[in-house]
Amino acid sequence: MAYDIFISFKNTDSDGLETKDVATATELYQQLTAQGLRAFFSNVILQEQGAAAYKNAIESALDEARVLVAIATSTEYLNSKWVSYERESFHNDILSGRKTDACIVPYLQNVHDLDVPRSLRNYQTFQIGQNAVSEVVDFIKHFLNKQTTEEMHDASEISLVTGKHISTYSAETKAEFKRLKIQAINTRDADFNALKYVTDNLADTSHLRILDMGCAYGFVTRDRFQKYPNATVLGLDRGAELIEFAHNNNSFEGAHYEVFDLESEDFEDNIEALMEKYQIEEFDIIFASLVIHHLQNPNKLLRRIRKYLSRNGYIVIRGSDDGSILTCNDDGLIQKILDIHLNADGISDRLNGRKIYSQLIASGYKNVVMKNYIKDLSGLSLDERNDVFLERFSYRKNYLQRLAEKDPYSEKKRKDFKNITQYLNELENKFDDETFWYCEIDFVGIAQKK
């Protein structure tokens, strides 16, 4: 039998009497096996295989198991010879990389924090008497199931840009609603600068046909395009609630909002149906702000949409890039924040801005120019500085919080959320300090189709 779990505990005390730990280990074993999990419990193995095979059985089970439960009702029992050997052997296999999907579950009582061995300190600890055995079983079941689920991720769920799981970003939260309103204002100058370049080079702007890919709540759509007379503007987003809000709150003459998945396999049929619906033969301006970095395959979308751009029309792509951030006196906080955020699962391509130029050329566009826009804190009021912080950093905490809430048994996700919260609180105080300087770049690519 191959084992999923190894139960480590002190069987007898110095007088040869059975310890209290045996009762806890027995109950844990019974509940685990009742759930169909394969647990190594030495007392059962001794009865089944005898003393001669006992040590070999322990070594084999330690190699096989993905979870070791360290049970102890005293520091003495926790540091006893065999319990220490089992725990440290398992821990060393994790550190060496021999076990890549394993964890230790401390289940303790009367063990002071200062006496907890270093090999247990980074793991979720349960307390005998406070946490029921069933809670430990639930944790183990979740961990083993999570590992299985992660191993079964289909290749189609991997971003071709980041090599990680595709972006799980969602704008449909109260926090994102507020942040996106601020972002629409803070990025206005970058977009107006790019759109002026476009309209200055278009032969006729009297009846523009405009596509906004990923319009969200419509804040940017209305602000950027309602000034063009007789224009037909089509805003697309996959979020039904977002589109409903845009309809109800950001409509203007000539504007239409539709639910649309930019990465749908039926993309061409769907976009052509909408163009027919609104009597659009082709688009003079195709616009996307902070959208393509969320996609699994940005170049695929850029190639697909290219055929619907007019011969003399322009595509405008705005992105961001965390690598463009410059500061003075941030005490290393931003790098700490980025290290946590950029390594989180399901994160979008936060280094997309630098790639826009090559993405456009590789996707069949010509006359590519970058109208990058530099923004910083100089001359801003305290409220405006706080808005920059909210726009550029608050969502990172919210994202880590959602990951931790979705996976409450993950010690790493809880730790990441705790750390990023601390760093962001410190950074927010920096933005309140007028001597603190921050700068970043909005990357804007403009092109025509070949």
pLDDT band at 413 (very low <50, low <70, confident <90, very high): confident
Q: Provide the pLDDT for residue 154.
A: 44
**So what's the pLDDT on residue 124?**
87
Give the pLDDT confidence score for residue 149 in this predicted structure: 47
**Per-residue pLDDT at 17:** 94
User: What are the tens digits of pLDDT across the range 97-148?
Assistant: 898 889 999 999 999 888 899 889 888 899 999 999 999 999 999 888 865 5
Q: What pLDDT, on a 0 to 100 scale, did the predictor assign at position 1?
A: 59
Ranking 117-126, 152-161, 216-225, 371-380 by mean pLDDT, the lowest is 152-161
What is the model's pLDDT at position 119?
87
**Which domains, from first to last, does the chain contain?**
5-152 (3.40.50.10140), 174-449 (3.40.50.150)
Q: What is the band of 218 on the pLDDT scale with cuts at 50, 70, 90?
A: very high
Mean pLDDT over residues 248-277, rounded? 96
pLDDT at 366 over 90: yes
- Backbone dihedral angles phi then psi of residue 39, each to the nearest 5 degrees: -115, 135
The backbone torsions φ and ψ at residue 289, rounded to the nearest 5 degrees and listed phi first, read: -110, 120
> What pLDDT digit, counting tens, does each position of 298-347 carry?
999 999 999 999 999 999 999 999 999 999 999 999 999 999 999 988 88
Q: Cα(278)–Cα(271) distance, rounded to whole angstroms?
A: 11
What's the 3-state SS for the chain?
A: CCCCEEEECCCECCCCCECHHHHHHHHHHHHHHHCCCCEECHHHHHHHHCHHHHHHHHHHHHHHCCEEEEEECCHHHHCCHHHHHHHHHHHHHHHHCCCCCCEEEEEECCCCHHHCCHHHCCCCCEEECCECHHHHHHHHHHHHHHHHHHHCCCHHHECCCCCCECCCCCCCCHHHHHHHHHHHHHCHHHHHHHHHHHHHHCCCCCCCEEEEECCCCCHHHHHHHCCCCCCEEEEEECCHHHHHHHHHHCCCCCEEEEECCCCCCCHHHHHHHHHHHCCCCCEEEEEEECCHHHCCCHHHHHHHHHCCEEEEEEEEEEECCHHHCEEECCCCHHHHHHHHHCCCCCCCCCCCHHHHHHHHHHCCEEEEEECCEEEECCCCCHHHHHHHHHHHHHHHHHHHHHHHHHCCCCHHHHHHHHHHHHHHHHHHHHHHCCCCEEEEEEEEEEEEEC
Position 152 confidence tier, pLDDT thresholds 50, 70, 90: very low
* Max avg pLDDT among 88-97, 345-354, 363-372: 363-372
